[in-house]
């Protein structure tokens, strides 16, 4: 190959990598976690990456990135920060879904297209907390298996020589069009050129087993909206809860009863006047039994700790 052709080939390669990175980059997030030990309110215990796949704040990452977290903080590419709620996690496949209280977010396209050994892939993540980083390589092999440190095996993995460093775990592996073909999940210590990702099809199958997470409009009497969510086992145990699901708050209307009662995004509502609620529909049914200006007691979780607040309801015409 002549020097001119070498330059042309490198330029074409760089153009593909640049295009893919620019397309997916705005949807890649940094994830910081504070573990459940307590006592260090603003401490950072762990970090990883993730990717937004729906405009209303649904994020894919690894289960091990958020395992045992008391607080999950998501930092967007534009610098905004949100506390996130855990919708669900599958330790066997190392896939987790988070939700943040935001709208109209940049999203990545999830691709289930067949992969070929040798095709170009790009990994985007946040290695070592240094900021967003792009690495490239090829699909080295398909259908790989690795021991899962949490038991069993990780199966059907994509093997790639694109460098995947600590902190990038949970970020997207994309094709030359910036479409997400996998979620980076593992590196092999002391080995060079061995990175692995769970295929997008695996991630989608895992998401399908989580509780449906469609946003519900704000309840007119409370002025908040949310979705049913799973509560982490350690939170259930620590608070001796009789339920494993609650309502993750994703929206609070300004000057609403919920806002005046100091409820916050990502709080999880557990009960109305001591009666358990697990879905927005259940909460709405119980709230409808009260009249305008009556007060109700809401049990809820904030950062893994059970709390209670009294809320004075709006009139039905104010919703």
Classify residue 266: in a domain, yes or no: yes
Q: Which of 11-20, 35-44, 95-104 has the lowest mean pLDDT?
A: 35-44
Residue 317 annotated in active site: no
Residues 201 and 268 in one domain: no
Classify residue 219: in a domain, yes or no: no
Residues 202 and 228 in one domain: no
Percentage, residues of the chain above pLDDT 70: 87
> Into how many domains does the chain fold?
3
Residue 159 DSSP SS3:
strand
Report whether pLDDT(249) > 90.
no
Q: Which residues pair with 245 in a beta bridge?
A: 230
Indicate the length of the chain as a whole number: 319
Out of 35-39, 141-145, 203-207, the most confident range is: 141-145
Range of the domain at 243: 224-318
pLDDT tens by residue, 272-293? 999 999 988 899 899 988 887 8
- The average pLDDT across 244-256 equals 86
Contact 88, 96 (CB under 8 A): yes
Report how far residue 69's alpha carbon sits from residue 131's, in angstroms, rounded to the nearest whole number: 22
User: Which one has a higher pLDDT value, 110 or 4?
Assistant: 110
Phi, psi angle pair for 285, to nearest 5° = -65, -45
Name the DSSP class of 113.
P
Last residue of a domain, one of 206, 240, 268: 206
Percentage, residues of the chain above pLDDT 90: 45
Half-sphere exposure of 167 (CA within 13 A, CB side): 13
Classify residue 138: in a domain, yes or no: yes
Structure confidence at residue 8 as a pLDDT band (50, 70, 90): low
Residue 256 annotated in active site: no
Find the catalytic residue in 94, 175, 267, 271.
94
Structure confidence at residue 38 as a pLDDT band (50, 70, 90): low
Chain-centre distance for alpha carbon 156? 22
Classify residue 114: in a domain, yes or no: no
Report how far residue 305's alpha carbon sits from residue 165's, in angstroms, rounded to the nearest whole number: 33
Q: Which residues pair with 163 in a beta bridge?
A: none
Report whether pLDDT(184) > 70.
yes
Residues 202 and 229 in one domain: no
Residue 287 DSSP SS3:
helix
Q: Which residues pair with 81 in a beta bridge?
A: 75
Classify residue 218: in a domain, yes or no: no
CATH label of the domain that carries residue 8? 2.40.10.10
Residues 198 and 231 in one domain: no
Classify residue 215: in a domain, yes or no: no
Structure confidence at residue 37 as a pLDDT band (50, 70, 90): low
- The average pLDDT across 134-148 equals 92
pLDDT tens by residue, 93-123? 999 999 888 888 999 999 888 999 999 999 9
Residue 64 annotated in active site: yes
- The average pLDDT across 76-98 equals 90
Structure confidence at residue 211 as a pLDDT band (50, 70, 90): low
The token duo for 192 is 């060079």
Last residue of a domain, one of 46, 64, 99: 99
Classify residue 104: in a domain, yes or no: no
Find the catalytic residue in 111, 136, 140, 169.
169
Residues 95 and 124 in one domain: no
Find the catalytic residue in 64, 136, 140, 168.
64
User: Which one has a higher pLDDT value, 181 or 264?
Assistant: 181
Classify residue 109: in a domain, yes or no: no
Sign of CA dihedral 207, 275, 238, 250: positive
Structure confidence at residue 175 as a pLDDT band (50, 70, 90): very high
Structure confidence at residue 41 as a pLDDT band (50, 70, 90): very low
Which residues in 91-212 belong to E strands, given as ranges?
95-99, 120-125, 133-147, 153-160, 172-174, 180-187, 195-199
- The average pLDDT across 233-248 equals 88
Which residues in the chain belong to E strands, given as ranges?
28-35, 46-54, 58-61, 69-75, 81-83, 85-90, 95-99, 120-125, 133-147, 153-160, 172-174, 180-187, 195-199, 224-230, 245-252, 268-272, 275-276, 295-302, 305-312
CATH label of the domain that carries residue 286? 2.30.42.10
Report whether pLDDT(310) > 80.
yes
For all residues of the chain together, what is the average pLDDT? 85
User: Which one has a higher pLDDT value, 275 or 207?
Assistant: 275
Q: Which pLDDT value is given to residue 153? A: 87
- The average pLDDT across 232-250 equals 87
Q: What is the pTM of this model?
A: 0.70
Residues 73 and 131 in one domain: no
């Amino acid at each position: 190959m002549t020097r001119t052709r070498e330059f042309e080939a490198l330029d074409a390669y760089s153009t593909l990598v640049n295009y893919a990175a620019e397309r997916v980059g705005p949807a890649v997030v940094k994830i910081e976690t504070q573990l459940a030990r307590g006592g260090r309110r603003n401490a950072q215990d762990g970090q990883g990456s993730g990717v937004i796949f729906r405009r209303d704040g649904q994020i894919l990452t690894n289960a091990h990135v958020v395992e045992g977290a008391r607080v999950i903080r998501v930092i967007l590419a534009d610098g905004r920060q949100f506390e996130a709620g855990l919708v669900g996690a599958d330790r066997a496949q190392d896939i987790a879904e988070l939700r943040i209280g935001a709208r109209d977010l940049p999203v990545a396209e999830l691709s289930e297209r067949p992969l070929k050994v040798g095709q170009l892939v790009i990994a985007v993540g946040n290695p070592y907390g240094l900021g967003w980083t792009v690495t490239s390589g090829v699909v080295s092999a398909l259908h790989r298996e690795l021991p899962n440190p949490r038991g069993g095996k990780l199966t059907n993995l994509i093997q790639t020589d694109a460098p995947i460093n600590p902190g990038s775990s949970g970020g997207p592996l994309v094709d030359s069009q910036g479409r997400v073909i996998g979620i980076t999940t593992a590196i092999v210590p002391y080995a060079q050129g061995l990175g692995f990702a769970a295929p997008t099809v695996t991630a989608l199958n895992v998401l399908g087993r989580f509780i449906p997470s469609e946003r519900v409009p704000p309840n007119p009497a409370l002025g908040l909206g949310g979705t049913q969510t799973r509560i982490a086992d350690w939170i259930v145990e620590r608070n001796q809860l009789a339920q494993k699901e609650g309502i993750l708050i994703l929206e609070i209307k300004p000057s609403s009863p919920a806002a005046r009662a100091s409820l916050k995004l990502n709080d999880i509502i557990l009960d109305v006047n001591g009666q358990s609620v697990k879905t927005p529909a259940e909460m709405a049914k119980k709230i409808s039994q009260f009249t305008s200006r009556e007060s109700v007691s809401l049990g809820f979780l904030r950062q893994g700790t059970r709390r209670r607040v009294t809320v004075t309801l709006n009139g039905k015409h104010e919703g």
